[in-house]
Amino acid sequence: MNTPTSGETAALVAGLLVGFLDIRAVWSMDHDPEGINAPRAHPRLLVFADIATLRRLHSHPQTVGVELLVVTDGDHVESAWHAEEVHGSLARWAWRQTSANEAFYDDAQWAEDGTTVVRLRRKAQLIWQTPAHQK
């Protein structure tokens, strides 16, 4: 599976914004809070939209190598392309927007020993947001 380049990810975001007009914001996830490490090998985007947009995204062709998560009610997070996979909620992730363009959240992962779960603080960066006059 090929990982999309940043240009391909930008083209995906542009296509989403043209095809799904009710998207209110798009965030790039999985950045190291210290800026030391690059984001995950495959892009993970968090989109704020309504439930109708999520349903339409369920039938939209999946972009290989990109995970698209949708927040529908300000908290509930669900995969756009895997309807059976619910990823939780922003509250459980301890999502906290610290500035207009930056937010932090907890990411649960298996520890190296494979028996315990550790929580890592991660950073999200705003890619696009509906202009204030259109809200």
Give 10-residue mean pLDDT values along the chain (135 residues): 63 91 93 62 89 92 87 94 79 95 90 88 93 69
Total structural domains within the chain: 1
pLDDT for residue 4: 53
The answer to whether residue 124 sits within a structural domain is yes
Instruction: Give buried/exposed letters for 1-30 (b at 16+ CB in 10 A, else e).
Output: eeebeeeebeebbeebeeebeebeebbbbb
pLDDT for residue 133: 62
The answer to whether residue 44 sits within a structural domain is yes
The answer to whether residue 113 sits within a structural domain is yes
The answer to whether residue 1 sits within a structural domain is no
The answer to whether residue 114 sits within a structural domain is yes
- Owning domain of residue 13: 6-134
The answer to whether residue 38 sits within a structural domain is yes
pLDDT for residue 3: 45
The answer to whether residue 63 sits within a structural domain is yes
pLDDT for residue 36: 55
pLDDT for residue 73: 93
